[in-house]
Structure 1
Amino acid sequence: MKQLLELKEPLGIIDSSSALFSKIKRMRINYSQENAIFFYLDTKNKLIKSEVLFKGGLNSCNIDPRTLFRRALKLNSNSIIFAHNHPSGDLTPSDEDCRITGRISKAGEIIGICLLDSVTFNKKEYYSFWKEVED
């Protein structure tokens, strides 16, 4: 079940993980369960839409890449960003977080939709896979 999230500001451009987290903080998110949020971007990294596409329980959320990319293609997205919260507040990516990030990235490469970042967040801070790779 997907739930569209309204931003309290114009959609704008997402050009960094900190800009992404700024948008996440303005969303209404149930932090007591894991939420997989996807951001769909155009060729200039302008946000087309953001939505909670999958919801889970206390420590997991099943993500179906097929459903994700069907949505991204329908929105004519050039790239996507994957973000999800950990209800525990611990930002450390799990083995499953790393695995699903890899699957999404590989699937996107095949169809020409780039995964720009994968972010784990809580109410106060975030962990960016790509920022970690760059540092």
Structure 2
Amino acid sequence: MCYLDREHFRVILLNTKNRVIGMDQVSVGTLNASLVHPREVFKPAVQKSAASVILVHNHPSGDPSPSPEDLQITQRLCEAGRIIGIEVLDHIIIGDHVFVSFKEKGLI
């Protein structure tokens, strides 16, 4: 994902044993933004009976530092996941051969 020229937002679907059962493209955005709606993130998780998800998107700039918008949408998605019973385990932002894990940074 580090070579993509637009932001791509994907969701990795996991079962109750944290094994990957699927991955779906949620949206393709612009050079520096991606429009993400909780409905679109959790739709494949509900369809495939996922127990939890990992959110992944890239920053074409190469800098994986979370933007204020990244922090805000992650909070919204975590809350939506709590409501429907599908836990957000992490949100990973991929940059130029580097990444940031919200879980590692204590942001989730």
Query: What TM-score do you get using the length of structure 2 for normalisation?
Result: 0.93
Within 5 A, what are the aligned runs for 1:5-84?
31-84=4-57
Distance 1:63 1:45 in 2: 24
1:116 maps to a residue whose letter is: L
Distance 1:96 1:123 in 2: 20
Consecutive unaligned residues in structure 1, runs of 5 or more: 1-27
Consecutive unaligned residues in structure 2, runs of 5 or more: none
Question: Of residues 65, 71, 74 in structure 2, which corresponds to 1:92?
Answer: 65
1:72 Cα deviation after fit: 0.8
Q: Give the structure, 1 or 2, with the largest relative contact order (CA under 8 Å, sep 6 or more).
A: 2
Question: Is the CA contact 1:31–1:122 (under 8 Å) kept in the aligned structure 2?
Answer: no
Q: After the TM superposition, which parts of structure 1 deviate over 4 Å for at least 4 consecutive aligned residues?
A: none
Which of the pair is proportionally richer in helix? 1
Q: Deviations 1:55-114 (Å, cap 9, x if unpaired)?
A: 001000000111221221001000000011001011110000000000000000011000
Question: Who wins on radius of gyration, i.e. which is larger?
Answer: 1
CA RMSD across the alignment: 1.5
